[in-house]
Structure 1
């Protein structure tokens, strides 16, 4: 085991939650505590100048009032073996100078990673083209459409050559444990996981979504089978009779199961499933409303619009205009070029 000092940087966007950073930082600090030959030097940098009301020390508060650690980025990135970009929502911009500094660091041999929405700026800079990248399931459609050259996965985390990514949440800790295992051996990673009372060390290739029975709050096998069929047949919906036949129960029995566990009939649950998928596509992609309606099993634009309005209280167009999240990520241009 080597005593080489490894320098790791964390580049933080405003709004980064304490838990996201703490999971990564704590794994490294515990590793140093449990083994005297492990040395990490951590550096924290904030991406942009504080907004009005920021602290006198320049740190940026998140929505809960937590202040990001470290100093504001001041034009240089150097001396790091790894750099992680952290954001909990897709950033809307990236200054050209910061983009240039990150690329320069990567050319010098620095491994680079994106945690949670930190994969967005990496993809915008082209640093993930041809690489696997773990993308949180909430952003899968949006990310895939914006960055077709990136191999977006639903893995907990990905480590593709010198590119690292974790979808967010506890997967950040999983990735750091994998780093510890590669840097210092599986024994140390196991010791850190025990110290943090981690039940098991998960592989990066494991899928993000929790088991369906946990999401439904039920372990009824026929209900699980039926919902899996619905999720696999969004574009061409099955009838209730077809679903009942596939799961080997009568239509009446299937309706009783749905009513008992989900308080709705199968057709109502299926419709809500398709409408929620349609809303996700409306907010995260630039597909036309008609394309989205057809891809979610609606036979025509009026049919889709009517069902959508009845469920959400607004037409698809109104909802997209009112609720669509931040504009597509762009690298900011120098003021002299914006005319």
Structure 2
């Protein structure tokens, strides 16, 4: 029996974050490969159709947004809060009336809020936008968390860098925990980040203080440790040139983006070596290294010992600890 097709609309607003779009598309494609209950088909939309520019100037061809009754879900993807016009508000309300699941990514929840579809509910957006959104849409409980799904499961929202977490959580709710675990593995996630994990006060904000573009670049790196983004792509996604990005890293962190990215991946690998039971090769691959020797050489160059030495040292320390029966 052929599984039903669930149409997913991706409503793109000018200047949308390309990474958030890719997260949705990749998650849906992975879900198609891992289960046979439904086939997800994503379609890029805009209010007027045609080409829509993403951050950094990359263009995506879109269809004109229409209100068919067979949309399963529509993701609104935007980088900046926009004052939704009457046509957009009417379309979002029509979709809501038709029972379509509506999601907002990065600043996309602002459009849902403008249509009155988030009143009395929690919603997430990129943390730099939260103060302005709270003023513009006081009826929404804006949270500094990474992502959120309401109790009914029909309103979703997330910061741009948490789009993959949100998609995995939503698809898990559709198909069960087994699919969720397989999906996380397929997407290179060690686990879903908790929905209430704060965006502000975290590593990327502290290190990127005083430079929103630097903070955004750091957040992108943190969200993509398993499949590292080229420096050029990070620069494009945050809307600066490669040279500008390198200047920001040199000015604030006294290093190059590529070097800092490597250090983030190695730090995560070290935590996994010390705290998880994954094999050394699994850890290396999950942190973006192409092979065991590549991982081992990079690790030794940075920490002065190999991953195997790290794990051996941790095992010796564990064996030296008194057992629970020996502790007073």
Q: Give TM-score scaled by structure 2 length.
A: 0.58
How many residues in Structure 1 have an aligned counterpart in Structure 2? 208
SS at match of 2:104: strand
In the superposition, relative to structure 1, how do residues 214 and 91 fare at CA in structure 2: closer, same or farther (>3 Å)? closer
Alignment-derived partner of residue 44 in structure 2: 44
In the superposition, relative to structure 1, how do residues 175 and 36 fare at CA in structure 2: closer, same or farther (>3 Å)? same
Shift of 1:165: 0.6
Residues 199-218 of structure 1 aligned to structure 2 (within 5 Å): 199-209=190-200, 211=202, 215-216=206-207
Does residue 1:61 correspond to 2:65, yes or no?
no
SS at match of 1:101: helix
Question: RMSD across aligned C-alpha pairs, in angstroms?
Answer: 2.6
Distance 2:205 2:144 in 1: 18
Once the two structures are superposed, residues 121-178 of structure 1 have per-residue CA deviations (whole angstroms, 9 ceiling, x without a partner) of 1111111111110122101111111111111111111111221111211x11001000
In the superposition, relative to structure 1, how do residues 38 and 107 fare at CA in structure 2: closer, same or farther (>3 Å)? closer
SS at match of 1:70: strand
Does residue 1:186 correspond to 2:177, yes or no?
yes
Higher Rg: 1
Alignment-derived partner of residue 126 in structure 1: 116
Whether the aligned pair in 2 keeps the contact of 1:180 and 1:186 (CA below 8 Å) is no
Gaps of 5+ in 2: 209-252, 254-328
Q: Give TM-score scaled by structure 1 length.
A: 0.56
Distance 1:139 1:122 in 2: 15
Alignment-derived partner of residue 323 in structure 2: none
Does residue 1:176 correspond to 2:167, yes or no?
yes
Does residue 1:155 correspond to 2:145, yes or no?
yes
Once the two structures are superposed, residues 41-94 of structure 1 have per-residue CA deviations (whole angstroms, 9 ceiling, x without a partner) of 222211346xxxxxxxx2123343322243233x43431121111101112442
In the superposition, relative to structure 1, how do residues 215 and 36 fare at CA in structure 2: closer, same or farther (>3 Å)? same
Gaps of 5+ in 1: 50-57, 218-261, 263-339
Q: Which has the higher helix share?
A: 2
Distance 2:195 2:98 in 1: 26
Q: Which has the higher contact order (CA 8 A, sep 6+)?
A: 1
